[in-house]
Structures are given as structure tokens and as C-alpha cells.
Amino acid sequence: MTMLKVQGLSAGYGAADVLHGVDFFVEQGAIVALLGSNGAGKTTILRALSGLMPARGTIDFCGSNLTPCNAAQRVALGLAHIPQGRGTFGDFTVEENLAVGAYTVGDRQQIASDMERWYAAFPRLAERRQQQAGSLSGGEQQMLALARALMSRPKLLMCDEPSLGLAPAITEEIFEILKSLNREHGMTLLIVEQNADLTLQFADTAYVLESGSFTVSGAARDLLGNEAVQQSYLGV
Ligand SMILES: Nc1ncnc2c1ncn2[C@@H]1O[C@H](COP(=O)(O)OP(=O)(O)O)[C@@H](O)[C@H]1O
Ligand SMILES: [Mg+2]
């Protein structure tokens, strides 16, 4: 089943568009990567999808047209967005951050059981429940950002540059977590990354964005080492 179908998505800041009518889709259960160099428009795509900025085009998510929905309604429909830079609240404890993530979920018992589920999946967060998020390491903050997004019970988890600012070993750990969320918890993932090699090794499908348009797309394994992908990054 196609979970997300995006057609002719355009968006920009002020008068100028930075996205020029992009089309892509995400199958249920898949890991889809949006790749591209700095400034290509990757973050703009996620912001447009989650309703944080106005956009044109059509966004079909699990059979619903998202265009008339605001950001909170999109979260309630199952679209979670982990922003670039993580977006956790540094002055709040780990537990308070998780509670904020559940703001669209009304049932207290469900919130409590989800919290225990994600503490079990992220034992380092469980050990730091009462610690301020700002005092966590970069890798732990990314884990918290993931767990917080999972508290909204998403169908699709969108993650903007999870590797940003992390050492290579920590990045690998985060990608292992993402892989297990997909394989063991059935989570569909839309990952934005500049780190093409690493991402192509674990995604199913990838789209390469250059100046607001896709230049290359296909099965991730076919794009690994692809010359056009490299050129897109080097801007040749
Ligand atoms: N708040 C903003 N105001 C004006 N221009 C912006 C803003 N955010 C991003 N841009 C511009 O939009 C383009 C795409 O940015 P972005 O989507 O952040 O790219 P990426 O995430 O691929 O690095 C860039 O040229 C960037 O300078
Ligand atoms: Mg970005």
C-alpha cells in the first residue's frame, strides 16, 4: 500500500520557490531517503509535509488529503516529524519531553504504556527519566527526539538529518535504532540526510534533490556508488 503520495509539491520563503513541484511516494513499511547537499530543499519538503509552512500541490497520506489540515491535525493522523537539530526541550526532563510528544493522544493509560514501551527500547533514556534533556549527549538527545516522536503513535516517522553533529560511531548506533524501528516495530520511515553512502546502505528507495527538484531516484542499492548521485553532491 502506498502510504504517502506527494505530487507537484512546491513551497518557498517569500516570493521565491525553493521546491519546484516534486513528486514522490512512500510505501507502507519502507525506508525512503531524501538525499541532497546543503540548501537543496530537503528540510523544506519535511516542513511542507508536516504543515509548518504553506505549500502547493497534493499530499495524500493514508487516503486523506492533508492540504486542509494544520500541523496538529497531521500529527493526529499519524505523521511525525523530527526536525533538524532534534527539537527537544532542553529545560524539560526526558519524561516531560516524552509527555509533550503525546499531546495528540488523549488516553492517559495509553500514554503510560507507550512510555514504558519506548523506555524498554531505549534503556539509556529510562536511566535518565528525570534528567534535563539539555544535559544529555548528542546521541541520547537524538534517541529522545525519536522516542518523543514515537509517543504520538505515528504511522510515518520523518527524520531530518539524524546524523547531524554526531560522531560516526554514534551515527551508526542511531541508524541501527532506525533500522530496528522499521524491522521490529513496523515503522515506515522517511529519512532526510546529507550522508548519502550510509543512508543508501539502509534505505529501500532514495530520491536525490538538487536545487528543489529530484535529479535521480530509484532503489537505494542501485544508487550506491552511482556517478550521477556523486555529481549531484559535488554540484558538477
Ligand atoms: N527561513 C528561511 N528563509 C529564507 N530562506 C530559507 C529559509 N530556510 C531555508 N531557506 C532557503 O531555502 C533553500 C532550501 O533550504 P533547506 O530546505 O533548509 O535545505 P536543506 O535542508 O536541503 O539543506 C536554501 O536556499 C535556503 O537558504
Ligand atoms: Mg536541512
For the cut 60, the answer to whether the pLDDT of residue 113 exceeds it is yes
Atom of ligand 1 nearest to the CA of 38: 23
Tell me, using a 6 A CB cutoff, whether residue 47 lines ligand 1: no
132 CA from centroid of ligand 1 (Å): 30
98 CA from centroid of ligand 2 (Å): 24
Q: What angle do CA 89, 86, 154 make, to 5 degrees?
A: 95
For 37-71, how does the pLDDT look when each residue is reduced to its tens digit (9 = 90+)?
A: 999 999 999 999 999 999 999 999 999 999 999 99
13 CA from centroid of ligand 2 (Å): 14
Assigned CATH class of 2-78+154-234 = alpha beta
Tell me, using a 6 A CB cutoff, whether residue 232 lines ligand 1: no
The answer to whether residues 147 and 122 touch, using CB atoms and an 8 Å cutoff, is yes
Residue ranges of the alpha helices (H) in the chain? 42-49, 71-77, 94-101, 108-121, 123-126, 138-150, 168-185, 196-202, 220-223, 227-234
**Residue 231 banded pLDDT, cuts 50, 70, 90:** confident
For 129-182, how does the pLDDT look when each residue is reduced to its tens digit (9 = 90+)?
A: 999 999 999 999 999 999 999 999 999 999 999 999 999 999 999 999 999 999
Instruction: Indicate which residue's Cα is closest to atom 27 of ligand 1.
Output: 39
The answer to whether residues 121 and 112 touch, using CB atoms and an 8 Å cutoff, is no
Give CA–CA dist 145/159, Å, rounded.
Answer: 9
For 9-33, how does the pLDDT look when each residue is reduced to its tens digit (9 = 90+)?
A: 999 998 899 999 999 999 999 999 9
| Residues in contact with 236: Cβ distance below 8 Å, sequence separation at least 6, in sequence order | none
Give CA–CA dist 125/137, Å, rounded.
Answer: 11
For 115-140, how does the pLDDT look when each residue is reduced to its tens digit (9 = 90+)?
A: 999 999 999 999 999 999 999 999 99
Domain ranges of the chain: 2-78+154-234, 91-151
Instruction: Identify the pLDDT of residue 82.
Output: 97
Burial class (CB in 10 A: 0-12, 13-18, 19+), 136: buried
